[in-house]
Amino acid sequence: MKQPQSHMVYYLAWLMIGLFCGVFILLLRGDLILSHPDQQLADTTAQASSSYAEAVAIAAPAVVSIQSTAIVQDVTVEDQGLILQQLLGQEPPQQPKPRTDVSSGSGVVISADGYILTNYHVIANHGVIEVELYDGRLVTATLIGSDPETDIAVIKADIGMLPVLKIANIHQMKVGDVVLAIGDPFSIGQTVTQGIISATGRTRVSQNTYENFIQTDAAINPGNSGGALINTRGELVGINSNIFSSTGSYQGISFSIPIDLAKQVAESIIEHGYVVRGWLGVEGQELTQEVLQRLDLGTRHGILITDVDANGPGDQAGLRRGDIITRINQSRIANTNDVLNMIAAGRPGDEFLIEGIRQRQSFMTTAVLGQRPLMSR
């Protein structure tokens, strides 16, 4: 009759040993057992994001280094004196000496047959354009065309099939997303820097006519111009263009041209050799508080026309200096950048409905766009 009781004591002893071991393990590794599932997911994500080597491996072969060399004949005050002596029939003691002007930057392959996207300012004074590929090969490239108004240029290297980057969906891009800048700063060789998207839609940050920059804190220095800004999947987000700096070097604010804008410009350059844009032929300024008070207006949106090109599309549509444009094709106008982008997105021959205010009275007219004159290069 005592045998069952001995079995009970036996089981209780093993149960106590098991509980003791469980408590011991809990004390030693409680962080693993008690951690919240969300924390475990966050830890896993952090570990997965600790390296961007795969994205770089995808993108780096499509980023190139560019060197543009030109022979420049400087004309100084002394040179002008020598030229005057020549005009007077006198033999100058010494001729002005030409110098070699070298501009360095980066570029991104946008088609397998060798079209490369870069900044206009990289090849602005182009003579001989050399491209160094990812594998170290040096090739001579041809300038296909350029667009100073967006600081975009397209060159072509005839060397066979080249790796091409996948284009990112720019509409899925968010402030705070991690991005990587790839280029050749200071001509030291291909370099990768990392940051986040700090802002989008930046305007009035450089000398470009058309601006819609991505702002990032990824380090961009001289030589990075024309290089790639990519996301963590190795997709092309933008073309690195310039920096905001008081020293000429990186100070934490860099700008890239969104790839959708750069691609649109590049396609037009490849097709036509230049960019075809709509043209209205008016100049304007934004409605400051001073302007509103002077004109006794209550509206806070629109632009004030300050000049109208004679016989231009705006002139033919009846627009006058002093008019205020408030809407174009029923879209509200907030600033001069809105007008520039809307008109530039049109094609020569397109009809644009323009609404505005003239001498405190509403008016409406239709303008037929012309082709924007090419900016002198």
Closest CA to 262 of 145, 117, 107, 371: 117
**Inter-residue contact 232 to 49 (CB < 8 Å):** yes
Pick the CATH number of 170-272 from 3.40.50.720, 1.50.10.20, 3.40.30.10, 2.40.10.10: 2.40.10.10
Query: Which pLDDT belongs to residue 228?
Result: 97
C-alpha gyration radius of the chain: 31
Q: What is the CATH number of domain 57-156?
A: 2.40.10.10
Query: Which pLDDT belongs to residue 45?
Result: 45
Report residue 67: phi and psi, to 5°.
-130, 120
- Residue 164 gets the label, from left (phi > 0), alpha (psi -120 to 50) or beta, of beta
SS (H, E, C) 34-99: HCCHHHHHHHHHHHHCCCCHHHHHHHHHHEEEEEEEEEECCCCHHHHHHHHHHHCCCCCCCCCCCE
Pick the CATH number of 278-371 from 2.30.42.10, 3.40.50.720, 3.30.70.100, 3.40.50.10440: 2.30.42.10
Per-residue pLDDT for the chain (377 aa), expressed as one digit of tens each? Answer: 445 555 555 556 655 666 666 655 555 554 544 445 455 444 444 444 679 999 999 999 999 999 998 777 665 555 555 555 566 655 555 566 677 778 899 999 999 999 999 999 999 888 899 999 999 999 999 999 999 999 999 999 998 899 999 999 999 999 999 999 999 999 999 999 999 999 998 887 766 888 889 999 999 999 999 999 999 999 999 999 988 776 666 778 899 999 999 999 999 999 999 999 999 999 998 887 777 777 777 666 889 999 999 999 999 999 999 999 999 999 999 888 889 889 988 999 999 999 999 988 899 999 999 999 887 55
Domain boundaries, given as residue ranges, for the chain:
57-156, 170-272, 278-371
Query: Which pLDDT belongs to residue 8?
Result: 59
CA dihedral sign of residues 270, 272, 274, 279? negative
Other Cβ atoms less than 10 A from the Cβ of 374: the count is 13
- Cite the active site residues: 121, 151, 225
Which residues are paired to 104 by β-bridges?
67
Residue 357 makes CB contacts below 8 A (sequence gap 6+) with: 297, 299, 302, 323, 324, 326, 363
Query: Which pLDDT belongs to residue 258?
Result: 95
In the chain the first and final C-alpha atoms are separated, in Å, by: 110
Query: Which pLDDT belongs to residue 106?
Result: 97
Residue bearing tokens 């310039």: 242
Query: Which pLDDT belongs to residue 42?
Result: 46
